[in-house]
Amino acid sequence: PAAGSQPLPAEGADTKTYLWARYHEMKKLVYDLLPPGVCNLLNPAAIYANNEISLGDVEIYGFDYDYTLAQYSNLLHSMIFNTARDILIEQFKYPEGLGKYDYIPGFAIRGLHYDVQKSLLMKIDAFHYVQLGTAYRGLKPVPDEEVIELYGGTQHIPLYQMSDFYGKGPSLKQFMDIFSLPEMTLLSSVIDYFITHGIEFDQVHLYKDISDAIRDVHVKGVMYKWIEKDMEQYILHGDEIYAVLNRLVNHKKKLFLITNSPFSFVDKGMKHMVGKNWRDLFDMVIVQADKPNFFTDRRKPFRKLDDKGSLQWDKINQLEKGKIYKEGNLFDFLRLTGWRGSKVLYFGDHLYSDLADLMLRHGWRTGAIVPELETEIRIINTEQYMHSLTWQQALTGLLERMQMYQDAESKQVLLEWMKERQEIRSLTKNLFNPQFGSIFRTFHNPTYFSRRLERTFYPRRTPLQHEAPLWMEQLCTGCMKTPFLEEMVHIR
């Protein structure tokens, strides 16, 4: 036994007293010996790489526009929600009572799945299990027992029902981009209204109507007009974008932009952030690219736009610096530029339509813009989170080691510990989001979102199960030295 630890109880001794003594001893270790400064170890503004990369080998930098170069304020989500809600009422003839619903900031998180047939919005982990406590019908949680019953006595979603490579399945839809936050909230609000008022509805029709209303906000250009009218209110971090792009150009890097947004919108936004000569920084600018089809479909040719944004009719045999192009496809882009493989690094916010094809099919290096990461790291850096997580790990270790005691009193102690562990899990989940928790993990597994992130970016070397003893310090705290490592080893 480690120094100072309680000796094992003699046969016939009071195991209940022994178990609680070990409990209090471990709690003291966790709360007294957690080193000063253990919080704030992670930098919220850092760039995190899970693959080796030499930036000296990267010659060409590509960017998406929305939520990559242009970051938007939360006010935009309220505007999208309100406008789509009004479209439902005015054009789709939904009940006027829906007008009382407003956007709820922080209700939903990215990466959630929606089961169209069951009207369930939920978080699913990397192994296709629903995280209990995170299934919502409307704005109210669905009891765990009902969720399990709905899926045939299990939390598991079969593979054939899950989303395909692009986040669309036969009955489940995954919401992967930041623009989907108002859509999930509107979906939940409409269902809440119908359930509250006892109105029957067809789940498929409702989902399609809301998707169409949200799409109209984007496709008909309403959103673009709001942003263009008041860029100071909607666009964030303009000065930082200018600094990054200029630094790359000064280091002789080539830059290109591929976006689904129209030229007039991008032009006004880039002039606001970077300046009127922003196009001088880019070797290629492609608008209305129709991603993800841009990366997979060879049929659409490039078309040139003049300085006023009008389409030209001439055939494109080369992509010229300073010119604006519309549509096109990646295969022609690669042929005309010769920009192939790992010398290209492309940044985007959508794991499917921006990044997955580029890495898996074409060998480009890719960078995911994940604004939520900064928020979650700030939470991880708090003393409350650090103490809760460390005590949860220690309590798990105690349960693993002490489950050998199976007398009635010991079983009662173990049940109390399991209940406490569940309470701690719920507490740490609520620190991120009261409804759905972190976008990166469930209680103990990565989320489906995290899994896709890892599949898109090759992970760095991590321990396999049979290698775990060689990685003990990293396993316990995620590459952070455990102040009570010897004790953790002992109880395991």
Binding positions are 64, 66, 349
With left for phi above 0 and alpha for psi between -120 and 50, is residue 196 left, alpha or beta?
A: alpha
**Cis peptide leading into residue 292 (ω within 30°):** yes
Structure tokens at 176: 């992967």
Q: Which helix (H) or strand (E) holds 327?
A: strand 324-327
14, 32, 57, 66: the catalytic one is 66
Phi first, then psi: give them for residue 25, nearest 5 degrees: -65, -45
| Long-range contacts of residues 469-478, Cβ cutoff 8 Å, at least 24 apart | 476/393, 477/390, 477/393
Q: Binding site for GMP: residue ranges?
A: 66
64 flagged as catalytic? yes
Phi first, then psi: give them for residue 122, nearest 5 degrees: -155, 165
With left for phi above 0 and alpha for psi between -120 and 50, is residue 111 left, alpha or beta?
A: left
Give the count of alpha carbons within 13 A of 477, CB side only: 24
Signed CA dihedral, 225, 228, 229, 233: sign only: positive
202 flagged as catalytic? no
One-letter amino acid at 314 equals D
Asked if residue 68 lies in contact with residue 349, where contact means CB atoms within 8 angstroms, the answer is: yes
Asked if residue 223 lies in contact with residue 183, where contact means CB atoms within 8 angstroms, the answer is: no
One-letter amino acid at 274 equals V
3-class DSSP state for residue 113?
strand
Across the strands, what pairs with 347?
A: 63, 367
β-pair type (235-236, 324-327): unpaired
> Please, what's the largest Cα pairwise distance for the chain?
92
Signed CA dihedral, 99, 104, 108, 109: sign only: positive
Across the strands, what pairs with 141?
A: 136
32, 57, 64, 307: the catalytic one is 64
Instruction: Using CA atoms of 492, 377, 173, 84 in order, give the dihedral in degrees to the nearest 10.
Output: 150
Q: Which residues are catalytic?
A: 64, 66
